[in-house]
Structure 1
Amino acid sequence: MRTAVVTGGGTGIGRAIAAELVARGLDVVITGRREDVLKQAAAEIGARAVAFDAADPAAVDAALEHLPERVDVLVNNAGGLVDGDDLKQQWLAMYEANVVTAVLVTTALQERLADQGRVVTIGSIAGRRGGGSYGAAKAAVEAWTAELAFKLGGRGITANVVAPGYVSETEFFGGGMSEERYRTLVAQTANGRAGTPADVAATVAFLSSPEAGHVTGQVVAVNGGAHLGR
């Protein structure tokens, strides 16, 4: 059985990705900082839970003994919007949450990645359209992934970014989106609807599959046409 690790897998997009991979027959471990949330999600979707802070090198190292010895699929989903006490701290915190987490976990598991394995990191439309410190962090994820694809490619391992646009049914906006903002974001799409966690999960599942072996170093947009990658 193929094994997957999904960081930030307790809620929203991460949980949907984990559930989709479980449904496709993978043995899935979800990680995150909130142990209670993780355990509940794991029980509901049929995964295993390992709680740790992916931005803390010591915590990542300590978690290794609880993570699979062989990893066929690694999904770096941990991240999101975070605040800092001042401008400098906000930018550093955003970079740490969205870039450092992926780098630390991927590096820690690199030797455990199976040949022909898959690494998928969740980016954002903000990496191409701006978005202050969050957009800058997601753009950095794209640059890091491009290098990672060549670093791991000799073993048949692929590395890609899935970049969602606006996705409903998540904690990302903390329930604070106005109806006007919602209508604006939906109006930017070609298909006239918000994305869903299932949309992102299905794309990640394909990139995680054996059939996606010649897709690497790419940014795959899941945004309903709100931003065209051409």
Structure 2
Amino acid sequence: MKRLKGKIALVTGASRGIGKGIALRLAEEGALVAVHYGSRRDAAEDTVRTIAEQGGHAFPIGAALQSVSGVRQLIDSLKEELVRLTGDPQFDILVNNAGIGTSQTLEEETEASFDEIFAVNVKAPFFLVQQALPLLREEGRIVNVSSGVTRIAYPHLMSYNLTKGAINTFTLHLAKKLGPRKITVNAVLPGIVDTDVNASWLHTPEGHKHAVEMSALGRVGEPADIADIVTFLASAESRWVTGQLLDATGGSHL
């Protein structure tokens, strides 16, 4: 039996990369998946088509998450679509995956770029949870995608690192807050994953060799590696796991 049969999931930033992998995997396990995108509607629709071809169910939903108004737009659109499809605006699983993946060095950082990365990586998931809580069912699941940079020092990505540290703290306190509703909250901390965001340097001989050498398991991470962990945390099998930061770096820098 599929582990998520009858469940409804919202995955932010699901048009490509890790988010797409998560959406595909949740749908494979039986969930109806809202595939969020910021600007890449074609890519989101492609993800939805792939899910349909594999026998799953999904729909695209667009909203820019740089502002709270964008978050509200996402929730309003989600409610409208769920009522149309199911007759009920409630859902079960929220995966906060959308984010900006790079930042400037400490010396190069500007106020504008600092504000932008915190708006997308911290403010958006914070207010998305706030707006989604009335719709999230009892015994629901929240999974935040953080990063291995909260354990491994990368000073050339200083602002990005800070945003993911904030997500880890958010995960801990939110798990305590939502415990009475039997909603679990956990974070997954990926390392280097083979996505289009990393392709420019990872798909070079030097870059690939460097990434492989970092991992205790001797390979580069794939979106499916992260998606399987998120699927576990979204399922009933993780009912006794909450407030945890799951390292998903393949043992990088052990």
TM-score normalised by length of structure 1: 0.92
Query: How many angstroms apart in 2 are the aligned matches of 1:179 and 1:218?
Result: 35
For residues 94 and 130 of structure 1, do their structure 2 counterparts lie closer, same or farther at Cα, with a shift above 3 Å needed?
Answer: farther
CA offset digits 1:129-148 (Å, max 9, x no partner): 23311111111100111111
The whole-number CA distance in structure 2 between the counterparts of 1:211 and 1:227 is 29
Matching of residue 31 in structure 1 with residue 36 in structure 2: yes
In 2: Cα distance, 1:118 partner to 1:55 partner: 24
Change (3 A) 1:135 1:171: same
TM-score (norm 2): 0.84
Matches within 5 A, 1:66-145: 66-67=77-78, 68=82, 69-82=89-102, 86-131=109-154, 132-145=158-171
Amino acid at match of 1:19: L
CA contact (8 A) 1:32 1:54 kept: no
| Cα deviations by residue, 1:152-179 (Å, 9 ceiling, x for unpaired) | 11100000000011111x1222523443
Q: Does 1:175 align with 2:200?
A: yes
Q: Residues 1-230 of structure 1 correspond to what in structure 2 (within 5 A)?
A: 1-34=6-39, 35-46=41-52, 47-67=58-78, 68=82, 69-82=89-102, 86-131=109-154, 132-168=158-194, 170-173=195-198, 175-177=200-202, 178-227=204-253
Q: For structure 2, which runs of at least 5 residues remain unmatched after alignment?
A: 1-5, 53-57, 83-88
CA distance in 2 between counterparts of 1:89 and 1:83 reads 11
The aligned amino acid for 2:90 is: R
Computing the radius of gyration over CA atoms, which structure comes out larger, 1 or 2?
2
Distance 1:188 1:175 in 2: 18
Query: Alpha carbons of 1:26 and 1:203: their partners in 2 closer, same or farther (altered >3 Å)?
Result: same
Size of the aligned set, in residue pairs, is 227
CA–CA distance in structure 2, aligned partners of residues 83 and 188 of structure 1: 21
CA–CA separation in structure 2 for the residues paired with 1:61 and 1:130 = 35
Q: What percent of counterpart residues are identical? A: 33
